[in-house]
Chain A
């Protein structure tokens, strides 16, 4: 029933993805270093340039006669600026296809949706994260975000490979349902969006703090302004939140069919609910007067903390009906 050749091919694809992602990560880091330094130089240079222009003028008046020195240091066209970022993005696209192949091969090897154990959840969640980022960067310039996508993606893949790896195999009967595919697919998709959302939230918090303090480090200077980071963060969460709501509902439908009750306060259900409530609180906080965007954004980060707990802690350490980590 389980095709081991395909399963091995899947493993190789996942390893290859990790290598490519690591390279992408380095390229994106290079991108931030280059553009960040530029952005800082530009803002730092603005007053200085004004000064140098007057001095150049006076030099001219003095009749030094030299023309060449007057050629202003115009910022180069932005293309070479972005070179590293574009390389990173192309590598990320490559990694995305690699991981899609890895997931597809895994699915083919067992003849079912590859959503049956923790290892499979992890690689599918990373796959969705990469797909969302890649698709997004086709429409908007998101090079500055690349490092903060590829870094967690690589870490999660490594953790999945090293500690959650499960041999390809068939499902337990209770997992054999169309609602499993629906529920878990949407759950992993929303976890992917929340992952990007959390990365953005942390970047916003860092940038906002740096801007308030007045010292923006290089890598942060390459990012959009704090208010626009905050808007992007919120924009991502209002997509992810309805998806999570759907996850909750679909999970309840499935639990009803499999176990005869739609809600039983099983640890996994508790945490799914807690996550939902925390993110609802985030959206609320943002609309509540007296709550700053910063305080509200911390709630989004807390929500992601709950996702990590739900995923990594509840699956392994808590006893419940959802004991299918396969570890």
Chain B
């Protein structure tokens, strides 16, 4: 790899620089940028530049890990951040490389396309004088008159889809043909589709959006910009254009591995939601299944099921036994056994109450450091472990996450002994809060599905251009561009093989049935073509056979 870094030879160009003038300079730069060497350098740079994005966490993939990294490595982290190492794929240096590559690509495609267009309309070039000087050639003798051999050769070459140069005076005894133009066509198609892919991706970024929402069983979600938990929209998205479909999660089926041991124990196995959906307000309801790898589509917007978890259902009453509300609070899984954390906020209480803690689908006791733990992701022996807080739930009216409790202006409730009050509930249980604050009942658990709603106008164009790209690639790598030259020599009834030296012999006058013809087939290929000789041998054989059958007929 070390020697691949060698820059294109600048020294010789620098020597010429002073006399170039501005236009010459620009032309020189353009030629450098669009040369194959530069394209190659840029390709290798692109590969190298993509790597850091897999080493350091990326904001676009996992912002939490970026924050964590920055906290743990403040000094290096800050420097890395300054150079965009946490946003590699939107960093200026990454963009510079692919933009230069795109320009180089355009500069490469345009002249080549023009040239290919001219080639396609031009005749194949004439046969060189000495065919036996070509690297690949074959000679044989056919028992048929020259005209018959030429005729057979034309037929064989035509059948192989080679283009044949129009006959010329003085060159009646030879044929020049060329085939495999598809190679260059494929090359152009491939490089153009590469551009098309990049442009389509850009379209998707500019006009696409992605929203995330958690929907517990039994609840309905209507698609509107403000209703999403998070919404990332491209710069040119009109948020009012979001299609207002709605969906209700009727039931979520989840299964976990119970048989295999080791790391596979408890791994998710099935994950599927039954939904009732409408395309727009007032539209007829439909029942649909949404699973992993099986998204729902509303027009050009798709809904994916990406996460799942549990939402404990809790009822809180005040000291008089009046209900302060029943809450279905989604808790977020923290590990593979679905130890989940979440918050329940009771704004109607006076003073306001907040609960923060863990839900354990299969309660496995308390860990010294981690607190209550779950030992299996499914609902075998569920418990809800909560701490109780009292005070102001939304200090300053600031928006806050529904999954955590902002305890800045809250205090933990204590029991009469002065201990911190902790609640541990199984489904169906009710507990009295200390100090006559009322009761908390754990009514039951429902599951929730984490949905991703995605609108990407670049998706289909990307797919189509990638398929075209693959087709172009296959054509360019499999088709061989070959020139084939055929020359016959009338050998009359002579038995010696005089080869090409006899080209000038006049038309024979002997009986056609007894005439011999010398046949030379030679070829040239573009690029490496180990099969060229075999190909020519096969051609010669076919021509011989075709000339004989014609003759016999």
Contacts and interface: CB of A to CB of B under 8 A. Distances in A.
Contacts of B283: none
A288 B36 CA distance: 6
Which of the listed residues A241, A254, A278 has the most CB atoms from chain B within 10 Å of its own CB?
Answer: A278
Interface in B1-37: 1, 3-4, 36-37
Contacts of B292: 173-174, 176-177, 258
Which of the listed residues A167, A260, A291 has the most CB atoms from chain B within 10 Å of its own CB?
Answer: A260
Which of the listed residues B58, B259, B264 has the most CB atoms from chain A within 10 Å of its own CB?
Answer: B264
A97 interface: no
Count class of interface residues, chain A = 35 or more
Given A260-B304, A326-B263, A318 B54 contact: yes
A172 B263 CA distance: 12
A79 B412 CA distance: 90
B60 interface: yes
A178 to B, nearest CB: 9
Contacts of B259: 1-2, 169
B43 A249 contact: no
Interface stretch (A46-54, A129-137, A213-221, A267-275): A267-275
Given A167-B261, A284-B43, A267 B4 contact: no
Nearest to A248: B466
Given A166-B262, A246-B470, A319 B60 contact: no
B210 A314 contact: no
Nearest to A273: B50
A176 B295 CA distance: 14
Interface string A108-122: 000000000000000
A295 interface: yes
Given A245-B469, A278-B44, A270 B51 contact: yes
B262 A281 contact: no
B530 A176 contact: no
Interface string A185-198: 00000000000000
Contact of A241 (B463, B466, B469, B473): B473
Contacts of B527: 287
B58 A265 contact: yes
Given A167-B262, A234-B528, A298-B1, A274 B47 contact: yes
A292 B138 CA distance: 30
Contact of A281 (B40, B201, B293, B474): B40
B304 A259 contact: yes
Contacts of A259: 304, 306, 452
Contacts of A271: 54
Interface residues of B, number: 63
B451 to A, nearest CB: 9
B61 interface: yes
B43 A169 contact: no
B273 to A, nearest CB: 12
Contact of A265 (B40, B61, B454): B61
B454 A260 contact: yes
Interface string B44-62: 1011001101110110111
B60 A295 contact: no
B58 A261 contact: no
A277 B46 contact: yes
Interface string B264-294: 1001111100000000000000000001111
A303 to B, nearest CB: 9
Which of the listed residues A2, A170, A241, A291 has the most CB atoms from chain B within 10 Å of its own CB?
Answer: A170
A307 B135 CA distance: 38
Given A257-B295, A265-B89, A270 B54 contact: yes
Interface in A270-327: 270-271, 273-274, 277-278, 280-281, 284-285, 287-291, 295, 298-299, 302, 306, 314, 318-320, 326-327
A80 interface: no
A288 B470 contact: no
Contacts of B528: 231, 234
A208 to B, nearest CB: 15
B459 interface: yes
Which of the listed residues B50, B257, B260 has the most CB atoms from chain A within 10 Å of its own CB?
Answer: B260
Which of the listed residues A231, A263, A290 has the most CB atoms from chain B within 10 Å of its own CB?
Answer: A290
Given A245-B473, A260-B306, A274 B51 contact: yes
Q: When A and B form their complex, which 8 residue pairs have the shortest distance between CB atoms, in order from nearest? A: A169-B260, A260-B304, A267-B54, A177-B293, A270-B54, A173-B292, A173-B271, A277-B47
18 contacts: A173-B271, A173-B293, A174-B292, A228-B530, A242-B477, A257-B294, A259-B304, A260-B454, A262-B459, A262-B463, A266-B61, A267-B53, A274-B50, A277-B43, A281-B47, A288-B40, A326-B263, A326-B264
